[in-house]
Structure 1
Amino acid sequence: MSLSPRLAWLTGLVATLSLAAVVHILVVLTIPQNTSHSAYADVANFGPDRQFNLLPDVQPGAEPLPALDPAMKHAACRFTLDEGPVLFTASIPVPFWSIGLFNEAGEAVYSLNNRTSGSDILSMLLLTPEQLSIIRENPPEDLDELIVLEIPATNGFALLRAFVPHAHQSREVDTALSTAFCGSLS
């Protein structure tokens, strides 16, 4: 018994679309394993670890990192908690600033801004649960003034962002971001 030409054509179309769907799904699922770079790796191109490095201004088609806001100035700091806790401090004289913490996979693990922190000054300590236990035994004098954040991941990066309300403040914001601190507690 043979299929009518119309039914044969329809069967071939369904088989082709099914195969295309399977191939598409396999390609999408293997993209993370085949990607040779990440935001964590890209941040290393802007300067040494454990210090904020000013990123170039965002230009259309030439963003230093994906999804940056062109109305903001940005500084990034790569860190590993294997070297000890990381202290972040900054004083940025603008109406809005924020800091985002990202793990090695580039996933946001924490975000804070001047409005939610209740202060124009950033003072945050990042550590692992084990490091927090050690700090509790002999806390620094200003521990109660810090936002203390424990995360299980040991590698990541911080992205400090500051809104530039007027072009004439650009240099002042650059200076504030360049002098922000990302380093050891002591």
Structure 2
Amino acid sequence: MRVRLPGLYIVLCLVLAGLIHIVAVLTLPMLAPKNANARLAALGPVNTMIELPAAAPGRQVMPMMAPDVRYAVCRFDLANGPIRLLSLIHI
């Protein structure tokens, strides 16, 4: 009987760690209201390409933006179903 107890404790610890991990991942969006989507939502509407302002110390929209790179984002609204993207590339 003593041989099985350490194995049981290990299994119970792994199950508990898995449950804590799942709860932490699912509650993170509610605990972090200033996430990337919230920051980008303040810059423009959905389904529109938005050019982000140039990065400067203390004025970065997103963390770790390089000052010599221009960034653009497009937030998609999938509430009404999937979207279709069309891109015209001139060579």
The TM-score bracket by the shorter chain reads 0.5 to 0.7
1:50-61 equivalences in 2 (<5 Å)? 50-61=47-58
Note the residue ranges of structure 2 that are not aligned, 5 or more in a row.
Answer: 1-23
Q: Which of the residues 67, 83, 86 maps onto 1:85?
A: 83
Question: Secondary structure of the equivalent of 1:76?
Answer: strand
When Rg is computed on C-alpha atoms for both structures, the one with the higher figure is 1
Q: 1:44 to 1:90 in 2, by over 3 A?
A: farther
Question: Secondary structure of the equivalent of 1:73?
Answer: coil
Q: How many residues align?
A: 65
**Correspondence 1:64 to 2:61:** yes
**TM-score w.r.t. structure 2 length?**
0.55
Higher relative contact order (CA 8 A, sep 6+): 1
How many Å separate the matches in 1 of 2:64 and 2:84?
Answer: 25
Percent identity between matched residues is 28
Note the residue ranges of structure 1 that are not aligned, 5 or more in a row.
Answer: 1-28, 92-119, 122-186
Q: Is the 8 A contact 1:55 1:75 kept in 2?
A: yes
Post-superposition, which runs of at least 4 consecutive aligned residues in structure 1 deviate over 4 A? none
Tell me the CA shift for residue 81 of structure 1: 2.3
**TM-score w.r.t. structure 1 length?**
0.30
Higher relative strand content: 1
